[in-house]
Amino acid sequence: MQVLAGDIGGTKTLLAICEFSETSERAGASIRVLGQSRYESRKYPGLGAICATFAREQARPMPRLAGFGVAGPVVNGRCHTTNLPWILDEKDLAQTLGIEVVRLANDFQTLTLGIEFIEAKDLVTLNEGARDPQGPWAVIGAGTGLGEAIGKVNLMGQREVLATEGGHCSFAPRTELEIGVLRFLEGRYGHVSWERVLSGDGLVNLAEAIAQVTGLKPGDHVQEVIAHDRPNAPAAITVGAAAGDALCKHALELFCKLYGAEAGNFALKCLASGGVFVAGGIAPRIIDSLKDGRFRDAFFDKGRMRPLLEQMPVQVVLNTDAGLLGAAALAARDAQTRNQRQR
């Protein structure tokens, strides 16, 4: 079965034509990407325009089914994207694209569905733990924003996903420095969510807050990028940290600690005995920093709950196409369900 799949983020949109196949056994499910392209989301007025460009470039008939993971809450087949000025609607998109069925889901819902198609070579273990194959699993990922979702196996043995907007929950500081970060960002935003510190822009926020609290200053180049080219500032900070810039290094270290702390919070809330997966666009780029122990220590630092967290496997997802694969699975399995109901 061929489907059009999309991973729609505030920064980039990935589109692909995928071949989905599934035997009677769950282990037989597979997805093969036949054609794929990446687009800068903000250069287009909406998803329909991107899909039209993709169709012209592929020069092949578009599949009759489509699934899209979207950065934002999806209610009754409709989404006002969080980090883009787009309103997406399943029925409108189907009509615009001239295809039979479109399914929209939160991007972390599709990413969580895509975890089952990730190969072992694309996972880096931060904590071994002891995985319960029937237990729920948590997916958290920082990118343009901060996504969180919960996966579970239902009574029929099928994988289901609970989408959340947990990244917008209130940031909880633990130290004097983090309290200073909160105060600085409250002055800027009012409400300070975890996304304000765990995202691309969140890393920049941390650097600015640390400069205010400690008096540290970034190097001239980093300071210039933050002031005049903010979309490229996260990359400049990570490069600065590797080069020994004290402020950049401090910001990246705090970022990893906070990432671990919120991952631990989320793992406790959904009792993730099936494992915790750290996904999103940032993690693969800072994998060495995530592996140095700060993330893991903060993940465990939950008082009496430490022994419970030590038993939970934690892995970083290096394959950034997981959301795309999950969107393909969403469309294909929705079609299978509808066909079964019609029989």
**For 50-92, what is each residue's pLDDT tens digit?**
999 999 999 888 899 999 999 888 999 999 987 789 999 999 9
Residue 23: its pLDDT value, please?
Answer: 61
| Stronger pLDDT, 342 or 148, i.e. the higher one | 148
The predicted model gives 312-337 an average pLDDT of 90
Asked whether the CA dihedral 182, 187, 189, 191 is positive or negative, the reply is positive
Q: What is the pLDDT of residue 340?
A: 62
Angle between helix 246-270 and 176-189 (nearest 10): 90
Q: Give me the percent of the chain exceeding a pLDDT of 70.
A: 96
Distance separating alpha carbons of residues 299 and 179, to the nearest angstrom: 19
Joined together, the tokens standing for residue 28 give: 């037989």
* CATH no. of 166-317: 3.40.367.20
In sequence order, the 6+-apart residues with CB closer than 8 A to the CB of 49 are none
Same fold, 2-111+320-342 and 166-317: no
Q: Which amino acid belongs to residue 300? A: F
CATH number, span 2-111+320-342: 3.30.420.40
Domain boundaries, the chain: 2-111+320-342, 166-317
Q: Which tokens sit at 254?
A: 């705090």
Query: pLDDT at residue 204 above 90?
Result: yes
By mean pLDDT, which of 61-70, 151-160, 266-275 is the weakest? Answer: 151-160
Average pLDDT, rounded, for the chain: 92
**CB 252 within 8 Å of CB 285:** no
